[in-house]
Amino acid sequence: MNNFFRKTLIAVVAVAAMGGAAAQVKERTLKFAFQNQTGHPQAQGAQKFADLVAQKSGNKIQVKIYGGGAQALARQNLTVIGQSYELGRVTVFEVLAERRRYLDVERSYTEALRAAYEARTALNRALGEGR
């Protein structure tokens, strides 16, 4: 079994084992990022994971999913609004607002990746792996 899926399975089992302890779980939101578009099997697995975490934690832990399509769409929106500005269809304030939305998507994605790498490192340590 591939290492990623083994670790994901261990995480799901750990969340399932917390079923009785759901009352003690603090409310929080986790971020889960992946490279592929929505509809890809990886996205479906991420959604299943998010659903299981929410179910087993009594909806106290939510997983926010960031697929690769969000960045591409934000970049495309920024390009379109820039072209609209050049044609005089929108104001500079609308361009700035779209640029801010784009930067928010990029920042959220970067934070999600950081959180994923930190979680992977913590899981590796818990499993006794030195990587």
Strands 61-66 and 28-33: parallel
- Tell me the longest C-alpha to C-alpha distance in the chain: 60
Q: Is 59 left (phi over 0), alpha (psi -120 to 50) or beta?
A: left
Q: What is the pLDDT of residue 80?
A: 96
The two three-digit tokens of residue 37, written as one number: 């578009």
Which residues of the chain are under the pLDDT cut of 50?
1, 21-22
Per-residue pLDDT tens digits for 62-73? 888 877 777 888
Q: What is the pLDDT of residue 23?
A: 53
pLDDT of residue 99: 97
pLDDT at 86: 96
Report the pLDDT value the prediction gives residue 3, as an integer from 0 to 100: 62
Q: What is the pLDDT of residue 1?
A: 45
